[in-house]
Amino acid sequence: MYCSFLLERPSRLFTKSLSLFTIILILASASIPARAQGFGRWKMDVDLYRYIAPKILLEGTDIQVHVTTQRGLSRNFLEQMKQSLEIGLPRADRRLKAVSYKAETVIICDITDLSSSSRTDTRYASVYRKVGEHTVFDETTQMNRTVEDFGYVNEPYTATIVDGFLSVFYECIDVKTGDVIDSDTITSDYNQEHAYPQVPSPGAAEYAMIGNAVSYITARFSPRAEFFNLLLPKGRLKGASQLIQKRMWNSALEKLSAIREFKDPEKDAFRVYDIAISYQGLSNYAPDPDSSRHYLEKAVSYYKEAVRKNPLEDRFRRAELMAEASLTDHRKLEAAMRDYESKKQKAAAVAGAQTTGQTPAGKPAAQPVGAQYVDPSIITNDTVIGWVRAGVSEKKIRSRINQAERTSFDLSSGDVSNLLASGVSARTIDEMRNFGRNRQPRGKWGDRLTLILLYTMAVVRYITPYVFRTCQ
């Protein structure tokens, strides 16, 4: 009897302990959602990014680059900067196109200072090497042995130091209005060490500083991506948050749609917040701009709902502000691309109308009222611009101007600016100024008399020696 009581007692104690443990577990599990519906102690997060609109978003996408200097620098440096900008700007904004005439935007870079110098100097480098030795007693051999000591020491060496400085005044001007869209003074320093006897290549410092200035300018026209981190809620939302961490946005949305709305609005705000993050993730990886904007608009609306349900959670408000800024920049870029495509279509329609002699609406092109007849034999500014557009070489254009019978050039400051923007070189403009406007026209009889005189001189030169030999 006593033995049976001893055998039954542990069983009853175990049963009571198990029942008590079960009750505690049930109470704890019932209270977990109430306590843990938030971000939790061990944080879960995800990295997203947003596009930021460029500092300068040009309306005139046909750009012309001019690089000047008053410092007497090599033209190689000027050409290097000009070509780098003509290549880099379309890469920064694919709407931009470098042109040699009919520019809508002009970018002027005036190199006010470009210099470099080299010098030799003694430098010190930390080198790990033998610094000494000492004697130790070896217990195994019962003998003394020498052990080398190693350490870091400063050793001198001769180096060639190249220093450089670049200063560029940069302006971006709208041709139509003449307004300065953007301007800045850009500086770049150069300091490079070359171990002696290595010698830096000529112009390496100058080209490196020019590259830095070009990168600074093109960055003003380029949109950029900014990464940011968002915390993810746990509790009943942990499974959906894990899918968001794996960037499985659609799967996360399916799981979140299966979770019923929480009774407490402050707790339900975390569910809505997860939905907003999922849509923003879809926006990051959307295949086209329209889909990206659509997902981003949904994300903003869900962020607003989360803030409305739980206005005391700062993370919801910060995420909403970042999504709204991203949507604003997205719409700005989208509007710029629409304007660009519209401009391309209009230009294509005008070009097609010019080839067929019709207006874009399909009607014959009408002559403007009061239009004056221009004699094609008279060389004007438009004639020179037409030659440039047709690809006639500068040498041939200058020759035609020099041999012209009549010219009618307008060389005021505004007209000269228009000629430069249309791709006419400064040397050609000088030819127009020196030989075109002030030159007297020659008559037909004057040309004939000149030919007769030249022919007579040639006959006398070659026949006279023959006559003398015959007479002798």
Q: Which domains does the chain have, with CATH numbers?
A: 45-50+226-334 (1.25.40.10), 62-220 (3.30.160), 378-436 (no CATH)
Tokens found for residue 402: 């020099």
Going by their DSSP bridges, the two strands 406-408 and 378-380 should be labelled as: parallel
In eight-state DSSP terms, residue 237 is: G
Q: Please check whether residue 65 is in contact with residue 86, taking contact to mean a CB–CB distance below 8 angstroms.
A: yes
The rounded distance, in Å, linking the Cα atoms of 277 and 117 is: 54
Q: What is the mean pLDDT of each run of 10 residues along the chain (472 residues)?
A: 45 56 55 55 83 82 90 89 93 89 89 90 87 87 88 88 93 87 93 78 88 93 85 91 93 93 92 94 86 92 94 92 88 78 73 59 43 56 81 82 79 73 79 60 52 67 62 58
Going by their DSSP bridges, the two strands 378-380 and 44-52 should be labelled as: unpaired
Cα angle 379, 382, 385 (rounded to 5 degrees) comes to 105
- pLDDT for 331 equals 85
The rounded distance, in Å, linking the Cα atoms of 210 and 205 is: 9
Cα angle 303, 305, 311 (rounded to 5 degrees) comes to 90
Residue 263's CB: how many other CB atoms inside 10 A? 7
* Chain centroid, CA 266 distance in Å: 43
- pLDDT for 466 equals 60
The rounded distance, in Å, linking the Cα atoms of 352 and 213 is: 40
Please give the sequence-ordered ranges of beta strands (E in DSSP) within 103-199, or none if there are none. Answer: 105-138, 143-174, 180-195
Residue 197: cis peptide before it, omega within 30 degrees of 0? yes
Residue 312's CB: how many other CB atoms inside 10 A? 9
The rounded distance, in Å, linking the Cα atoms of 234 and 274 is: 10
On the 0-12 / 13-18 / 19+ scale of CB atoms within 10 A, 267 is buried
The C-alpha R_g of the chain, in whole angstroms, comes to 40
Q: What residue type is 256 in one-letter code?
A: L
Cα first-last separation, the chain: 174
The rounded distance, in Å, linking the Cα atoms of 123 and 317 is: 54
Counting every residue written for the chain, the total comes to: 472
Short-list 333, 336, 338, 337, CA closest to 51: 333
Q: Please list, residue by residue across 113-122, b when 16 or more beta carbons sit within 10 angstroms of its beta carbon and e when fewer do.
A: ebebeeeeee
- pLDDT for 67 equals 92
The rounded distance, in Å, linking the Cα atoms of 392 and 387 is: 5
The rounded distance, in Å, linking the Cα atoms of 237 and 256 is: 8
The rounded distance, in Å, linking the Cα atoms of 64 and 420 is: 10
**Alpha-carbon torsion angle 69, 71, 75, 80, nearest 10:** -60
pTM score of the predicted model: 0.53
Residue 142's CB: how many other CB atoms inside 10 A? 7
Short-list 338, 316, 347, 85, CA closest to 214: 85
Across the strands, what pairs with 135? Answer: 146
Q: Please check whether residue 51 is in contact with residue 284, taking contact to mean a CB–CB distance below 8 angstroms.
A: no
